[in-house]
Chains A and B, each alone.
Chain A
Amino acid sequence: DAKTTQPNSMESNEEEPVHLPCNHSTISGTDYIHWYRQLPSQGPEYVIHGLTSNVNNRMASLAIAEDRKSSTLILHRATLRDAAVYYCILSTGGGNKLTFGTGTQLKVEL
């Protein structure tokens, strides 16, 4: 499976933007980039996904590098409820299973 690399942890202050990076240098042309997050004691939650163009939804924005070898999840105004582990996941070969890595633990402080 295509591999992603994320920092183990990041910190942010409440009300500030957060940029969560992800490297995926082995991405293939048909792989989608997905982001999920997992809050404490809950299952993973879908955040956003994209292929080539930047994407926006009510939760976040996804900025994809032109060569697609990296992407950034942007939370425009972090809140305490955004403290979670964020996973950057690539689809592989059109399959239907998610391959989770270790993710980035986001800490949000007042």
Chain B
Amino acid sequence: EAGVTQFPSHSVIEKGQTVTLRCDPISGHDNLYWYRRVMGKEIKFLLHFVKESKQDESGMPNNRFLAERTGGTYSTLKVQPAELEDSGVYFCASSQITGWNYGYTFGSGTRLTVV
């Protein structure tokens, strides 16, 4: 089966611009997660979708970040306006079943650089 796919793999934008990251989960996976690693820090949870609903968005840093998952398939994460501290690697993961009994499959990430 195809894995979790993220677009683009790299993005360089100027401060104040808008960037949209996309994640295509494994087909049939209802659960979709966004994580990110900013420079020098640990990988941090951002939010969790179950189908098209936001189950947990406690990790979203501020209102410049907007995540959507229309139709419960792919998801987008928009940063508007981007700030320098948003630079880092954004990972998406998916799982078929909710809960801790199962592993998640991660994508390779989108490296975002804000200059």
Contacts and interface: CB of A to CB of B under 8 A. Distances in A.
Interface of A: 32, 34, 36, 41-46, 49, 91, 94-102
B100 A43 contact: no
Interface residues of B, number: 26
Nearest to B101: A32
Contacts, number: 56
Interface of B: 4, 31, 33, 35, 42-45, 48, 55-56, 58-59, 91, 93, 98-101, 103-109
Given A32-B101, A43-B91, A97 B48 contact: yes
B106 A44 contact: yes
B95 to A, nearest CB: 8
Chain A interface mostly helix, strand, loop or mixed? loop
Nearest to A30: B100
B42 A41 contact: no
A97 B33 contact: yes
Nearest to B3: A43
A48 B104 CA distance: 11
Contacts of A102: 42
Contact of A43 (B58, B59, B106): B106
A43 B55 contact: no
Nearest to B47: A97
A49 B103 contact: yes
Nearest to B58: A97
Nearest to B103: A46
Most buried by A among B56, B100, B104: B100
A101 B45 CA distance: 12
Contacts of A41: 108
Contacts of B59: 97
Contacts of B91: 43-44
